Amino acid sequence: MKQLLLVFIGGGFGSVLRYIIGKYLNNPDTGIPYGTFIANILGSLLIGIILGLAAKNNTLSQNQTLLLATGFCGGFTTFSSFAYENHMFLKGGDFTSFAIYTIASFIVGFIAVFLGMYLTK
């Protein structure tokens, strides 16, 4: 039960922070979801750092990892928003934005995870 509560609390904080970033950084004029992109990249970097620390000499406990990686990063990153925004690009015929946003999100996201893991070595 304690573990579920840790994930719940972390997820709540992550979701609120993602909402704030999206509210201020997503661009309604151009439709470009900068906030979602930034949340996904920062979340990728953070989960790399968190899991890197957890793996390094057991720096983080299992409960801390649940709170931060599963909870916070899970609530903070936005795959469902990412999928919806890409749907809107395709629906609007904006194939260039779709391609750039999708490719950049995957590549930069993976790089951010690896960077986070590298920084904890």
Could you give the dihedral angle defined by the CA atoms of residues 65, 25, 116 and 11, in that order, rounded to the nearest 10 degrees? 10
How many angstroms separate the CA atoms of 121 and 84, rounded?
36
Residue 91 is predicted with a pLDDT of: 94
Name the percent of the chain in helix, strand, coil, to the closest 5: 80, 0, 20
Count of H helices and E strands in the chain? Answer: 6, 0
Q: How does pLDDT run across 68-82, given as a tens digit for each residue? A: 999 999 999 988 889
Give yes or no for residue 109 having a pLDDT over 90: yes
Q: How does pLDDT run across 39-69, given as a tens digit for each residue? A: 999 999 999 999 999 988 888 999 999 999 9
Give yes or no for residue 117 having a pLDDT over 90: yes
